[in-house]
């Protein structure tokens, strides 16, 4: 879980800057936290585009924002979902029946990788899925999946997958900037 906290000293600083309008402090925090949550989701989605070849629609639909209120000053970006099928990523259909190459998929930016099992069975694309036979028989068939969106978000947030760095510091600085902007808006 990703958390950001505002300590007591920062709260007192905000109240001091607001002066006579201390009662508006919860509203200031609510607006700043909600804006930061939206910016965090956007940053994560942009980073995902740089690290993974997943289509944005498939990624954004799995991240929901729970907004803060004046009574509960916490907002969260929740990622949910099962592992995504490879069809949501950059892929190429194979032609194993005709002696061609196996289907290929690229989950992480870096080039297509052919999907061939250790038994020599090649992957193929049918009915909107990338799949492979588990043996010589026609059935059973194994459908290929990637990581789930929550796992991808976790890796992006931690700075893995070739990202420049973790997102914790930029999001924390966004929160500070948003607090300052909200204070300016009220104080004038």
The predicted-structure confidence for 10-29, as pLDDT tens digits, reads as follows 778 888 888 888 888 889 99
**Separation between Cα atoms, residue 18 and residue 167, nearest integer Å:** 30
Question: Which among 171, 175, 173 has a CA at the least distance from the CA of 156?
Answer: 171
Give pLDDT tens digits for 57-113.
767 788 999 999 988 888 999 999 899 888 888 888 777 666 667 788 888 887 777
Question: What integer pLDDT is reported at residue 184 of this predicted model?
Answer: 93
- Paired with 124 in beta bridges are 131
Question: What integer pLDDT is reported at residue 34 of this predicted model?
Answer: 94
Q: What is the reported pTM?
A: 0.81
**Separation between Cα atoms, residue 106 and residue 91, nearest integer Å:** 6
Is the confidence at residue 56, as pLDDT, over 80?
Answer: no
Give the burial string for 82-96 (b: 16+ CB within 10 Å, else e). eebbbbbbbbeebeb
Give pLDDT tens digits for 107-166.
888 777 777 776 667 788 888 888 888 888 888 998 988 889 999 888 888 887 656 567
- Can you say how many angstroms the Cα of residue 99 is from the centroid of all Cα atoms in its chain? 38
| 8 A C-beta contact, residue 121 and residue 184 | no
Question: Which among 12, 41, 11, 27 has a CA at the least distance from the CA of 171?
Answer: 41
- φ, ψ of residue 81 in degrees (nearest 5): 130, 165
Task: Evaluate the CA torsion angle 43, 49, 54, 57 in order and state its sign.
Answer: positive
Which sequence spans correspond to the domains of the chain? 8-80+148-187, 85-147
Question: What integer pLDDT is reported at residue 159 of this predicted model?
Answer: 80
Question: What integer pLDDT is reported at residue 161 of this predicted model?
Answer: 62
Question: What integer pLDDT is reported at residue 154 of this predicted model?
Answer: 87
Give the burial string for 32-45 (b: 16+ CB within 10 Å, else e). bbbbbbebbbebbb
């Amino acid at each position: 879980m990703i958390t950001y906290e505002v300590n007591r000293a920062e709260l007192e600083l905000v109240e001091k800057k607001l002066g006579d309008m201390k009662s508006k402090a919860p509203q200031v925090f609510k607006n700043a936290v909600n804006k930061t949550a939206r910016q965090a989701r956007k940053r994560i989605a942009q980073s995902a585009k740089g690290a993974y070849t997943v289509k944005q629609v498939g990624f954004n639909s799995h991240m929901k924002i729970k907004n803060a209120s004046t009574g509960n000053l916490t907002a969260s970006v929740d990622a949910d979902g099962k592992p995504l099928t490879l069809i949501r990523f950059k892929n190429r259909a194979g032609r194993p029946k005709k002696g061609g190459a196996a289907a290929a998929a690229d989950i992480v930016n870096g080039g297509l990788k052919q999907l061939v099992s250790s038994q020599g069975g090649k992957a193929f694309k049918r009915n909107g899925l990338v799949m492979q036979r588990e043996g010589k028989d026609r059935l059973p068939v194994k459908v290929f999946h990637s990581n789930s969106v929550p796992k991808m978000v976790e890796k992006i947030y931690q700075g893995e997958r070739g990202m420049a760095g973790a997102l914790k510091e930029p999001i924390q600085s966004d929160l500070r900037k948003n607090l300052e902007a909200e204070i300016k808006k009220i104080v004038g």
